[in-house]
Structure 1
C-alpha cells in the first residue's frame, strides 16, 4: 500500500487471495490480525499475546520452541495453533528479530575459551548473556575458577571449595560433574596439584589400540608384538 499498489497488484506480488489482502488492508493495527483468528473470534493465545510478541522480538521464531515454552506456562495449545500464529505474524509484516539467540554450542565455546583470547564482540556478547541469565554468569565464574585451578596446579588449595560451590550452584550438569569428581576426589586432587601426568602412558595405550584395530582378524599376537616393539 505504501508503494501505491492496488489490490490486484498486492495479490499478485504476495501470492495471497483477495479475502486475505482485503482483511490486512482494513486492519487498523497488527494486534487486530494477531489476536483474532480467521473467523474474527478470540483464541486461546489472546491472553498470552504480549508474551508471544516479546519472545518474537528476542529471536524466538520457531514454533516448536515457542510451543514448549507456552506449555511450561500452563498454556494447553496444539503445535499447529502456534504455527498458524507465527505464520500470521510473518504475513502481516511483523518486524523480524534483530538478532537470533546464540546456539548452545556457541555459548559453550565462549565460556570455554580463555577470556584473553576472546575478541571484543564475543566478550561483549558473553557479558550481555550473563546479565540476562544469572545462572550463566555463575556457570562462567565456576568454569574460569576450575580452569585457573587446573593451569596453576591449585587443586590442593581450592578443589574442596570449588566442589561445594558447584554442588550448590543449582545447575544440574555442573552438580553431576562435581559428584563424579567427588567419587575419586583424591585422584582428582593429585591431578590438579602434582606436576606428573599419565599422558605419555595414555598415548602409548591409544597407539597399541590403533595397531590392534588395523590388524583385527588378520594376524596373531606375535605380529602385533613385533609391530609394537619396532614402532
Structure 2
C-alpha cells in the first residue's frame, strides 16, 4: 500500500530565523495520529538564517541524521566534535546514553537548507557517538546511492538501526527499480522535481510517500525534468 502525503499536508512555520515543515508530530505540532513510520520519528525540512541556530540542548536514545541541501551546517557537542558540513556530506549522531550539542548556520551570509531525520535505535542505552561522511553526488545520478546504513563504510554513515537511507537524482525520463524483503517499509521524500512510483502515483516537490507490503517498486522521473529524492528502507 502506498499513502501519498502532499507537501501542503505538513505542519509549516516561519519564525524569521527558522522556517520549516514537519512531516511527523514534533514540538508544537502535536498530532497523535502522525507520530511515526517504522523507526522514523522526525523528518524535518528546515531553513536556518545566516548566523542563527539552536543553542546547547540534550538528546538521548535517538539516531539523528542531517542531510544539508545547500549552505553550511555547524555542529558542536560535549563529546568534543566540531564539524561544518555542506551538500555531499552526512552528519550522524547517536545520542545513546546522552549528548549535548549545538547546531548553527555556519555562514554569516547565506541560509542553510537541510533535512533532519530522527530514528529510534535498535536498542536503548547505547554509547553516544558522532560522525560525518562524504558522498559523491555524481554517484547518485540515475542510481540509488546509500549514504546511511547499519553497516557503515568510508562513504556511508553508520546507524544503530536495521535501515538504509539512499539519495538519488533521476535525469528526465530515467527509471530505476527498488526491491526489499517482505515485511519491510519504504519512505520516499521528493526534494525537487516530479517522481512517479509504479506508474500511478506522482510525487512533486516536497511530497512524501509511506509504502508497506510492496517488495518491489518502480521509480521514474518526468520526461521534462529530473527528480531528486530520498528513499529510506525501514524495518
TM over 0.5: no
TM-score scaled by length of structure 2: 0.20
> Taking CA–CA contacts closer than 8 Å with sequence separation of 6 or more, which of the two structures ends up with the larger relative contact order?
2
Task: Tell me which protein shows more strand as a share of its residues.
Answer: 2
Name the one with the larger helix percent: 1
